[in-house]
Homo-oligomer: A and B are copies of this chain.
Amino acid sequence: MTALATPRNSNSKSPPEPAAKRPRGRPRKTQGERDDGNRRHELLTAAARLFRQQGFDATSTRDIAAAVGMHSGSPFYHFKSKDALLYAVMEEGMHTAIARQTKALQGDDAATGKPGAPLMQMRRLIRSHFDTLLGPGNDFVPVMLYEHRSLSAWQLTSLAKLQTEYEAAWTPVLEALHASGHLRAPVKFSRLLILGALNWSVQWFDRKKDASLDDLTDAAMALFLKEC
C-alpha cells in the first residue's frame, strides 16, 4: 500500500469516488465548468517548471503527477507518453512566444518607415524575448531551448517550423539596421549571435539580484548596435 510513498503536497488519501469529487489540492476555479482542459494544463505547467529546474531526464512522470496531486499513472490519461508531454510544453511555449512577439511589434505599426523605426522594433524584439525567457512563470521556452535533445525527429522538425517563424520577425529588422549602419556584422551571424546572447541569460539572470529586464534590454542594445 501507499505505493506512492505519499509525496503528496497537502492532503491525505483521496477517496475512490468517481466524478462528483476531486482528489484534492488546488481549488477549482469554476464549479460547473468542464475542467478537463484545466487539469491537462496544470500538468503542462508543473511539467514545465520541473523540466526547467531538474531537466527532462531527471524528472519522473511520478514527480509531475505528485506536483498536481495525481497518482503515478494518471498523467498518461492526459498524455500518451512523457515525450508527448515534453513536446506539448515546448509547443505551447513557442505559441506564446510568437504571440507575445507579434503583439510587441504591432505597437510599432504607425512608426514603420520612419527613420528610428528599426531601432525601436529591435528594442521591442529584445525586450519581448527577455520576457519570454525570464518572466515569472515563463518556463516553457527555456525548457524548449535546453531540452530539445530529448525530442524525436518529427517533433524536432515540427518545432523547427515554429522557431523559424519566430526568428523570421528578426531578419527584416536586422537588415534595416545593417543598411543604416547600426549593425556591422553580417545579418545571419548577427541573428544567431544575438539570440544566443539573449538565450544564455537563462543561465545567469537572477530577477532578485540583477537589474530589471529593461536595464538588461538597454545593455543588449548598447552592446549590439552602433550609434551612427
* Chain A contacts to B: CB under 8 angstroms: 54-58, 146, 149-150, 183-186, 189-190, 192-201, 203-204, 216, 219-220, 222-224, 226-227
Question: What number of copies of this chain does the assembly contain?
Answer: 2
A58, B223: Cβ atoms closer than 8 Å: no
Q: How far is the CA of A202 from the CA of B104 in the complex (A)?
A: 29
| Chain B contacts for A193, CB-based, 8 A | 197-198, 200-201, 219-220, 223
B201, A216: Cβ atoms closer than 8 Å: no
Given A194-B197, A199-B196: A185 and B222 interface contact (C-beta under 8 Å): yes
- Shortest CB-to-CB span from A210 to chain B, Å, is 9
| Chain B contacts for A146, CB-based, 8 A | 146
Closest B residue to A146 using CB positions: B146
| Chain B contacts for A201, CB-based, 8 A | 192-193, 196
B226, A226: Cβ atoms closer than 8 Å: yes
Q: How far is the CA of A204 from the CA of B160 in the complex (A)?
A: 13
Given A58-B57, A58-B150, A150-B55: A219 and B197 interface contact (C-beta under 8 Å): no
- Shortest CB-to-CB span from A61 to chain B, Å, is 15
Out of B55, B194, B204, name the residue touching A57 (CB < 8 Å).
Answer: B55
| Chain B contacts for A56, CB-based, 8 A | 57
Out of B58, B195, B223, name the residue touching A224 (CB < 8 Å).
Answer: B223
Out of B149, B150, B185, B200, name the residue touching A219 (CB < 8 Å).
Answer: B185
Q: How far is the CA of A204 from the CA of B58 in the complex (A)?
A: 25
